[in-house]
Amino acid sequence: MELVRLLPERPWRQHSRRRGPANSSWQQQGSRRRLELVRHKERCIADLDGRLEALLKDKEELEQRLAMQDCQVNELQQHVQLMMEKNNAKQEVILKLSEQVAACMADPQRTVANSMGTETFCRLQEKIEHLKGDIEAHKIQNKFLNSEIYQLTKLWRNSSEEEKGLLMKCAYLEAKNCQIESKYLVVLRRLQESKGLDSSQQEMVKMLIEDSLQGDKKDGFKLNPVSEYDDYGFKTIPDYEVEGVKLLAKIQALEIHSNNLRNNEMVDKPLRTRLDLHRTLTSNKHFSSPTSGAVQKLQRILLAFSWQNPTIGYCQGLNRLAAIALLVLKDEDAFWCLVAVVEIIMPQDYYNKTLTASQADQRVFRDFLAEKMPRLTAHFKEHSIDHSLITFNWFLVVFVESLVSDILLRVWDAFLYEGTKVIFRYALALFKYNEEDILKFRTIWKSTNTSVFSPKLSLMAGEAE
């Protein structure tokens, strides 16, 4: 029995002796491959860093060139300003001399027999001719300077476009660099977790990890460095004591930063509403200052609407509709009020790019006006007045900034309750209320234009009666 128990043990020991060296050699090959992969990633990172530095140098050179061109443009503008002032002074002298010559020629009692008077007159004429020649020369010089300014402006715009392109390339390369760095850290983490490394290799991996975690502190200038805090104030890389957790946090922060760079590169949505914010309800104290809270709320509402309804985006007039809603509602309620007015109460395509429904309403109102007030319609035709120049804005913004506040809010109550027919009703009422006053205007159409039809003035005139 002892012999039988020992016999199976010998082959197993021999097999384990044969297998041991092969397993160790396989582990050594795996570690070599990992080290080669790490070195390859380091070379890639160094290459990308070099390319990023070259692009940054190009950007600095372009900025210097742009600054020099801006200085040249400023100098030319100052020179043009001086030349214009000089021309104005000369023109004033010419006007004075011309007036003197005209006065001399218009006086029949004045004789040219006097030699002193004749010589003075000739000198004045010669001086005028010289001044005219100087004016022509300065005009030519001004044209040349204007062409130079145009060329410099064109160069400045081209350099600005090149700078923008370089910034986009830098952002893309930095995002790529962050991705490679995160992959590099992942490889280091896997090497750290593997148990087949000897002490020297583990020490090397540990040094590489420490070096990568402290790399941001050693680097100089970066276009978009990884911030320590996110948009809400939370730390993106917490101060963990455990080295492995800190490594994971650094990898996550690099991935987030890379995604942010790529998203910021693709998202560029300039909002046109900023141009109309300072022209909204200028007579209202809540919208009188660009930094007031109501203006900021209005901007957020219009931006949210442009995202909620991308087919319309933004149309002039929406700012006034939202501003009226903001006077009596909170932010979110004002936003949904704007959505209800544009998408439910108003007809479809009322605020699109072609304003199709708005133009159709003007034709319908023209027929109503001809039916209800034929004398006023004939009066408009006689003086070639298009009523839509007056009423188009009434319909588009529902009389906002065209009526006094106490009347406007009552009109809006009826509008929200009954719909768009209220606009036709009150527009006809305004014309009917001031029909006799409008018919009196016959010879001052060109001087007064259409301002005489302003509902504010009409209501004031009606109240004055």
Give the pLDDT band of residue 9 (cuts 50, 70, 90): low
Tens digit of each residue's pLDDT (9 = 90 or more) over 294-305: 888 998 999 899
- State the pTM of this model: 0.42
Q: Tell whether the model's pLDDT for residue 248 goes beyond 80.
A: no
At residue 164, the pLDDT reads 79
3-state helix/strand/coil string of the chain: CHHHHHCCHHHHHHHHHHHHHHHHHHHHHHHHHHHHHHHHHHHHHHHHHHHHHHHHHHHHHHHHHHHHHHHHHHHHHHHHHHHHHHHHHHHHHHHHHHHHHHHHHHCCCCCCCCHHHHHHHHHHHHHHHHHHHHHHHHHHHHHHHHHHHHHHHHHHHHHHHHHHHHHHHHHHHHHHHHHHHHHHHHHHHHHHHCCCCCHHHHHHHHHHHHHHHCHHHHCCCCCCCCCCECCCCCECCCCCCCHHHHHHHHHHHHHHHHHHHHHHHHCCCCCCCHHHHCCCCCCCHHHCCCCCHHHHHHHHHHHHHHHHCCCCCCCCCHHHHHHHHHHHCCHHHHHHHHHHHHHHHCCCCCCCCCCHHHHHHHHHHHHHHHHHCHHHHHHHHHCCCCCHHHHHHHHHHCCCCCCCHHHHHHHHHHHHHHCCHHHHHHHHHHHHHCHHHHHHCCCCHHHHCCHHHCHHHHHHHHHHC
Tens digit of each residue's pLDDT (9 = 90 or more) over 92-101: 899 888 887 8
Tens digit of each residue's pLDDT (9 = 90 or more) over 392-422: 999 999 999 888 888 899 999 999 999 999 9
Mean pLDDT computed over 204-227: 62
Tens digit of each residue's pLDDT (9 = 90 or more) over 425-455: 999 999 999 988 888 876 544 433 333 444 4
